Structure 1
Amino acid sequence: MLIIFSGLPGSGKSTIARALAQRVGAVYLRIDTIEQALRDAEQAEREMGPAGYVVAYGLARENLALGSIVITDSVNPIPLTRDAYHDIARSVGVPYLDIEVVCSNPSLHRERVEKRKVDIEGLVLPDWQAVINRHYEPWDRERLILDSAVLSVAQSVEQIVAALAKVR
């Protein structure tokens, strides 16, 4: 099973994705971690472009083929990246679930962004202006939408677990 988390920085997706990974014993692939490792390896401070996603796609495919549940955690801002995850799941013959995490309360979202602590050495977190200016295309397909302004992490995980039971 491939569980695909998407949403703007500070929406709560990493917190929920980590909690779910612990709950279901999944492989957890976070784009921020992958991209920072690539920057560290190249000793460069630059935009990654698609490199982090390409690495995540390969790791997801390999772990799915081994029979693991895989959770991906990324902004996943455009149909191209969303489609790529679906193609990976189909190529391995496993189901997938799209999850979009949103924070419907702009002041809460801003507070989260501004108070976030770096949990990956060397990672530069986006400020609020970068988050609101982030290119993020609207969805054109079915997905589970979790509003972290009204749902706790535990409630979000429970909603995902219930949705997974229907997908399998």
Structure 2
Amino acid sequence: MLIAGIPGARKSTLAEPLARTLRRPIVSMDWLLGTMTPFEELDGFAVSLVDLNVAASIARHVQLGIDVVVDVAGHTRANRERLRELTERLGGVFVGVECACSDENLHRERIEGRDRGIPGWHPTVPWTRVGRMRGLWEPWEEDHLVLDSAVETPESSLKRALGAMGK
């Protein structure tokens, strides 16, 4: 299951309990980026390296017949399509979830008040980065589940995500 969205839309708030409930691995872009911070010389390449690592992790789990929860921005059509094609080529079933937050004040409050606790990674992102990512988000035209964290509770989002997976 690909869980995508801009920062603060509650991707990880869904991905972590989903992985725990399903007892399946989770691949998180932010956690992988945190491992790269000691290597300053990789700064310009870190996101590309993490993208490759995410794809390799998905591929290996799907090859082994293990469902995997993927927590990434997934803001471009090309990125989402690449992950879908990889999953399906290896015999897996791709389920896409777009996390959003329709209440800008609530969204900003979440961003400015959080500390994700990821070793080596930033506690949060600046609100300006959220705006920049919102501008880079490409509409998701394929069939997928959309969860609005401004109106859904984490529990109802989890229930709907499990339903999308047929669980």
TM over 0.5: yes
Q: 1:91 maps to which residue?
A: 89
User: Counterparts of 1:10 and 1:70 in 2: how far apart (Å)?
Assistant: 22
1:118 corresponds to which of 116, 128, 133: 116
How much does 1:11 deviate? 0.6
User: Counterparts of 2:42 and 2:151 in 1: how far apart (Å)?
Assistant: 36
What percent identity do the matched residue pairs reach? Answer: 26
Instruction: Give the partner amino acid of 1:128.
Output: W
Instruction: Give the partner amino acid of 2:125.
Output: P
- Aligned positions of 1:100-111 closer than 5 A: 100-111=98-109
Q: 1:23 maps to which residue?
A: 21
User: Counterparts of 1:45 and 1:117 in 2: how far apart (Å)?
Assistant: 24
1:130 corresponds to 2:129: yes
Q: 1:144 maps to which residue?
A: 145
User: What SS does structure 1 have at the residue aligned with 2:165?
Assistant: helix
How much does 1:120 deviate? 0.9
User: Counterparts of 1:27 and 1:92 in 2: how far apart (Å)?
Assistant: 17
1:46 corresponds to 2:52: no
Structure 1 gaps of 5+ residues are none
| TM-score, normalised via structure 2 length | 0.91
Q: CA RMSD in A?
A: 1.5
| TM-score, normalised via structure 1 length | 0.91
Q: 1:59 maps to which residue?
A: 57
Equivalenced residue count is 163
User: What SS does structure 2 have at the residue aligned with 1:99?
Assistant: strand
- Aligned positions of 1:60-75 closer than 5 A: 60-75=58-73
Structure 2 gaps of 5+ residues are none
Instruction: Give the partner amino acid of 2:4.
Output: S
How much does 1:131 deviate? 0.6
User: Counterparts of 1:100 and 1:86 in 2: how far apart (Å)?
Assistant: 14
